[in-house]
Amino acid sequence: MIDLDGARVGVTGGARGIGKATAAAMAARGAIVTIGDVDLDVATATAGEIGARSHHLDVTDTSSFREFVVANADGGDIDVSVNNAGIQLMGRFVENGLDALHRELAINLGAVVTGTRLVLPHMISRGRGHIVNVSSMAGKVSTPGMATYCASKFGVVALSRAIRAELIGTGVTLTTVMPAATRTDLTSGVTLRLQPTLEPEDVARAIVASTRHGRPEVTVPRWLAPMGLVEQGVPENLLLGAKRLVGGREPGAFDPGQRKAYLDRTTTP
Q: Where are the domains of the chain?
A: 8-266
More confident residue, 151 or 227: 151
Instruction: Taking residues 187-214, report their average pLDDT.
Output: 83
Q: What percent of the chain has pLDDT over 90?
A: 71
Q: How confident is the model at residue 82 (pLDDT cuts 50, 70, 90)?
A: very high
Q: How confident is the model at residue 88 (pLDDT cuts 50, 70, 90)?
A: very high
Give the CATH H-level superfamily of domain 8-266.
NAD(P)-binding Rossmann-like Domain (3.40.50.720)
pTM: 0.89
* Residue 254 contacts residue 181 (beta carbons within 8 Å): no
Q: Which pLDDT does position 95 carry in this prediction?
A: 92
pLDDT at 248 over 90: no
Q: How confident is the model at residue 3 (pLDDT cuts 50, 70, 90)?
A: very high
pLDDT at 184 over 80: no
42-72: pLDDT as tens digits: 999 999 999 999 999 999 999 999 999 999 9
Question: Which of 17-31, 116-130, 233-247 has the least mean pLDDT?
Answer: 233-247
Q: Which pLDDT does position 151 carry in this prediction?
A: 98
Q: Which pLDDT does position 245 carry in this prediction?
A: 53
Q: How confident is the model at residue 243 (pLDDT cuts 50, 70, 90)?
A: low
- Strand 181-182 versus strand 197-198 pairing type: parallel
So which residues are the catalytic ones? 149
Average pLDDT over the chain reads: 89
pLDDT at 252 over 90: no
Q: Which pLDDT does position 78 carry in this prediction?
A: 97
